[in-house]
Each structure stands twice: as structure tokens, then as C-alpha cells.
Amino acid sequence: MGQVGWRAAMQWALYGPEGFYTRGERPAAHFRTSVHASHRFALALARLIVEVDTALGHPDPFHLVDVGAGCGELLAEILPVTSLAGRLRPIAVEVAPRPEGLSGAIEWRSTPPEEITGLVVANEWLDNVPVDVVELTDEGPRLVVVDPRTGAEIPGPAPSAEDTEWFERWWPLREPGDRAEIGRHRCAAWESVLRRLRGGLALAVDYAHERDHRPPYGTLTGYRDGRCVAPVPDGSCDITAHVALDACAEAGLRGGATGTLLTTQRTALRALGLRGERPALDLARSDPRGYLRALRAAGEDAELIDPSGLGSFGWLVQTVGVDVPAVLRKAQPSA
């Protein structure tokens, strides 16, 4: 493969025949997500499932769809704490082969169901939907092309009309050298999720930024063995870029969303009961083991809601046919 645009290079490096995800790399071996940080993330989502199930009138089945499921850890952690009286139908969507040892109750497939009633979770999925990169040069905007073997870049052709329309609306370029990561294909991917949702809630959790605070030089990053590395699209590492969740929210409206909330993981998880507060010292005297359990839970909560870490992730909540759950709507932004 010669020099190509970043979107084609990412597609090949992540999802080609020997791509990073296609060959079944275990994400936990390369980067840490909320799912890997603590089972309490699953507990918070279990509370959200109950809210959505009630709003829908307890449908049978209730679909729980994890898009970009990795090795299925999130669904495996939710299953023991959310039965819904046998109505829960967990579905993992992932391009990698089904991992050994995964519960037989979890359906494994490469694409989402055409019709979904329930809850869709996309935890750090959109950041792996490939993007093209455009840079403002003295001759105007130019697509950046890359050598997949080395990661070396050069200016390429002018962007298409569709790409130009997207970045002029969502990621304006102001100075020569400024870059935008064109997220219109991510918007389309998210819109396709909402079009499948017959009723319920779709949740995207990801590294995110807003239109007035886009990073001027982009966010393309590689991960390998738990470390940030150069984003060389040769298939040897994960390649990710932060997500314009505000643009995806508008795409979700086109897909049929009737309710929308954009917030942070810190605000959302605190509303769902993860406070990160140390237990009272009196508990240590009356119930030492209970105190240690509560102390551990507080530490895990603190990592999930850390405003300088996982707590800074964006949460895009969109609903179809039901309101955004009151527990999230009433949550106030927290420092």
C-alpha cells in the first residue's frame, strides 16, 4: 500500500485482514478503559438499564447491545447484576472472533441488529471509527496522506465538498498548520445506531471535545502495550482520535433521536450513584471487612470520575420514544 489518506490507512490498520482488531488483540493489553478500571462502571450502567426498562414498559426482550465490545467484559459484568426477569438479551458487536470462555448467554455478531429495543452502549467505539485529516496550508486546505509503513505524512489533494462542509461547520481551520480530523463518517456511524433503535437509549462514551475548543493540531494517537506510541498505521498498534460528540449528537437527531444530553462521565456516574467518598471511620470499628470493601469501592469510583482522567470523558445520551432518564437530566455539572 502506497501513501493514502488517513481514513483508508486507519481502516486497513485496524480492520483489514491482519488489522489490530480483526486479528483479535485484547484491548485491555494495550489501553485502560472504564470497563477495565472497575466493575462499578457496569453497576452504574445496570442502574441505567433499570431506568430505561421502566420507561419502555418492561419489553420482552430488552436488548442490551455493546458496540465495540472488545472481549465482552462489560456484558459479562452486567449479566450477574441485571436479570430483568429473563428478558435481557445481551449482544456484543465486534469484528474480532468470539473470545473463549465468554458466557453462552451473550450473542456475538459483527454488526448491530437491525431493530433494537433497549439500551445501546458504545464505550470508546467512535474514537476507532477511521477519520481523514485535513491541514490548512498556504494553498488552502489539503488532505494529509500517510505512508502506512512509517507514518510519514505529506500534503495531498484538496478535500471533497462533503469533507469541506463538515469541517467548516464543526472544526474551522484558522491558521496555516491547523488540522481537523474529519468526523462525518463517525456521525454516519452514530446515526446508523439511532436508526436501529426502535425505543430506548443509546450511549456513546469517549474522549471528546467541543466545537469552540477543538485541539488545533488534532489528536491522532497510537497505543501499544499500555503506552502511547506514534500513530503508525501498519497494524501494530491501536490508532485513535478524539470525537466531536456535538456533531454526532446532531447526526443522532437525523437518525430519529427524540431526546439528547451531552455531559461528562464524572457528572453522569455521580448521578448514577458513584460518589468516590470515603466511608465513615466508625464503620472500621463496627465492620472492618465492610469498611475495607467500601474503601475499595470509593477508590474505584474515584478513578472512574476523576476529572483529569476517565471522568473527563464525554457522554452522549440520546433516546428514542422515551425521555432522557430523570436521574441524568437532574444531574448538575460537578467540579
- Write out pLDDT tens, residues 38-47: 788 999 999 9
- C-beta separation of 133 from 218 below 8 A: yes
Cα gap 183→283, rounded to integer Å: 50
Confidence of residue 114 (pLDDT cuts 50, 70, 90): very high
- C-beta separation of 60 from 87 below 8 A: yes
Reading the block at residue 287, the C-alpha cell is: 465492620
Reading the block at residue 118, the C-alpha cell is: 433497549
- Which one, of 188, 169, 171, 187, lies nearest residue 134 by Cα? 171
Measured in whole angstroms, the distance separating CA 98 from the mean position of its chain's CA atoms is 20
SS3 at position 65: strand
Is the model's pLDDT at 36 over the cut of 80?
A: no
Question: Is the four-CA dihedral 36, 40, 43, 45 of positive or negative sign?
Answer: negative
pLDDT confidence of residue 335: 40
Strands 153-155 and 140-146: antiparallel
Q: Where are the alpha helices (DSSP H) in the chain?
A: 6-15, 34-37, 40-56, 73-78, 161-170, 184-196, 245-254, 265-271, 281-286, 288-305, 326-329
The residue with cell 453522569 is 268
Q: Lowest-confidence range among 158-167, 168-177, 292-301, 325-334?
A: 292-301
Question: Is the four-CA dihedral 244, 132, 32, 214 of positive or negative sign?
Answer: negative
Q: Lowest-confidence range among 9-23, 184-198, 199-213?
A: 9-23
Residue 199 half-sphere exposure toward CB, CA atoms < 13 A: 14
Is the model's pLDDT at 8 over the cut of 90?
A: yes
φ and ψ of 238, to 5 deg: -70, 145
pLDDT confidence of residue 295: 58
Question: Is the four-CA dihedral 43, 329, 317, 166 of positive or negative sign?
Answer: negative
Instruction: Tell whether omega for the bond before 61 is within 30 degrees of 0, i.e. cis.
Output: yes
Widest CA span in the chain: 72
Cα gap 34→301, rounded to integer Å: 10
pLDDT confidence of residue 317: 98
Q: Cβ-count burial of 226 within 10 angstroms (0-12 exposed, 13-18 middle, 19+ buried)? A: exposed
- C-beta separation of 71 from 28 below 8 A: yes
Is the model's pLDDT at 24 over the cut of 50?
A: yes
- C-beta separation of 221 from 201 below 8 A: no
Reading the block at residue 35, the C-alpha cell is: 470497563
Cα gap 176→214, rounded to integer Å: 15
pLDDT confidence of residue 331: 62
Number of helical H runs and strand E runs in the chain: 11, 15
Give tens-digit pLDDT for 56-95. Answer: 999 999 999 999 999 899 999 999 999 898 999 999 999 9
Amino acid at the residue 216: P
Confidence of residue 1 (pLDDT cuts 50, 70, 90): low
The residue with cell 483489514 is 16
133: β partners: 181
Cα gap 232→223, rounded to integer Å: 10
The residue with cell 502506497 is 2
